[in-house]
């Protein structure tokens, strides 16, 4: 099967999935990946990011969204948090939102090795391919904890022009887009581990 045929087959299969409660599925680099929704430590960080971003964006034309599908071509991902217009329109059949409307995605790392590879490698490439301007990875499982900021997507290379990784305890500021000036620090990540 050719790549476009494979993408279409994976897309059609993904659209028909009926998962048990507590599970999510994404299409990442030509495969459907299914995993359990995050545990309490993961959820706490996700909630802190979403709430702080929403306060930062309050009164403007952008909002935060959580656990919503982002569609690009025949692929779909579910970032932990994303920033998009308040008056966001849904993608066909209300499957999610078009990646072109998304200005920032945030992923919060999980302990399983497969989850780490998905956020650190495969989704990093997928978000770059989609041209999403900013990707933030908050990762409890990278050393003593780290925040990595990816900007300047290069869709043709599935990579980023600027990658800035700092340990927990070091503030990171979003440099562009509707969340420009938003600070990610210990109030969101917690202190540096161990």
Q: What is the pLDDT of residues 32-43, one digit of tens each?
A: 878 777 678 888
- HSE, side-chain direction, 13 A CA sphere, residue 149: 19
Residue 50 parent element (H or E): helix 40-57
pLDDT at 115: 66
Pick the CATH number of 38-189 from 3.90.1570.10, 3.30.70.1140, 3.30.465.10, 3.20.20.70: 3.90.1570.10
Residue that the structure tokens 């340990």 belong to? 167
Domains of the chain, by residue range, sit at: 38-189
Cβ contacts of residue 72 below 8 Å, gap of 6+? 98, 99, 126, 129, 130
Q: Residue 127: its pLDDT value, please?
A: 95
188 in helix, strand or coil? helix
pLDDT digits (tens, 9 = 90+) for 122-175: 889 999 999 999 999 999 888 889 999 999 999 999 999 999 999 999 999 999
pTM, to two decimals: 0.86
- Mean pLDDT (the chain) is 88
Q: How far apart are CA 118 and CA 141, in angstroms?
A: 13
Cα–Cα separations (whole angstroms), residue 147 to 35, 161, 164, 171, 179: 23, 17, 8, 9, 16
């Amino acid at each position: 099967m050719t790549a476009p045929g494979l993408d279409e087959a994976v897309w059609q299969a993904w659209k028909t999935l009926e998962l048990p409660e507590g599970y999510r599925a994404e299409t990442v680099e030509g495969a459907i990946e299914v995993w359990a929704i995050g545990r309490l430590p993961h959820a706490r960080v996700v909630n802190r990011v979403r709430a702080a971003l929403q306060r930062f964006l309050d009164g403007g034309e952008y909002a935060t969204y959580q656990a919503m599908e982002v569609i690009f071509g025949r692929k779909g991902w579910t970032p932990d948090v994303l920033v998009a217009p308040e008056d966001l329109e849904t993608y066909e059949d209300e499957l999610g939102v078009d990646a072109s409307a998304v200005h920032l995605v945030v992923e919060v790392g999980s302990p399983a090795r497969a989850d780490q590879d998905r956020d650190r490698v495969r989704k990093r490439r997928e978000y770059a391919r989609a041209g999403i301007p900013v990707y933030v990875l908050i990762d409890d499982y990278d050393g003593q904890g780290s925040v990595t900021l990816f900007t300047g997507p290069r869709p043709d290379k599935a990579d980023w022009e600027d990658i800035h990784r700092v340990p927990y305890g070091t503030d990171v500021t979003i440099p562009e887009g509707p969340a420009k000036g938003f600070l990610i620090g210990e109030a969101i990540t917690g202190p540096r581990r161990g």
